[in-house]
Amino acid sequence: IKDLVWRLKPNRDHALQEASEAEAAIPMTSEDEPSDSVACDQSAQSNFVPASHVFVAQDLSSRDEVLRFISSKAVELGSAIDEEELFQAFLRREAEGTTGMMEGFAIPHAKSSTVQEASAYVVKLAHGADDWETMDTASVTVVIGLLIPESKAGTEHLKLLSKIAEALMDDDFRAEIRATDDAEAIARATNARLV
């Protein structure tokens, strides 16, 4: 996890601290005897990304267009109240260091009081966002946006971010997401990595 979070943060000391908090936030229980709270949490995560939060073949050509699109859909679908505030929260995070990863993936995340509940949105682009800085200079074509309420900024967002970052290190997961435009299939594949 420390490696994965570092790739998302420009400041190494801050990254290591955030990674340590993420590790502490993820419940460690026996595989044979999971606690009721962990089982409940896993059930919620298995439906964390509904198909209605997945958008494919979107004709968006820049980072800001994508972030604005997610902000608009989040308000439309009840995940957030204020589109402009959410958009600015995304931009504040990008100002700390790009959330562009490798092989066309990006995982922008916003922590804000306008977010009503932790949620995620997946956007596949028709042509890619060339202005989104990535670690391998590839154009961003798949975006997994995370929205976190301010009140859960120290726990929920770290758990979700670390799980998504781990998923993006898996060749099979990246290939599965790239290979389909079926919203239900993308939602299932993403949810499977959050349990």
Active site residues: 109
Q: How far apart are CA 35 and CA 29, in angstroms?
A: 7
Burial label, 180 (beta-carbon count in 10 A; 0-12, 13-18, 19+): middle
Triad 126, 141, 99: Cα angle to 5°:
145
Chain centre to alpha carbon of residue 155 = 14
108 Ramachandran zone, left/alpha/beta (phi>0; psi -120 to 50) = beta
What is the full DSSP assignment across 84-141? HHHHHHHHHHHHHS--B-STTEE--EEEETTB-S-EEEEEEEEEEETTS--TT-PPEE
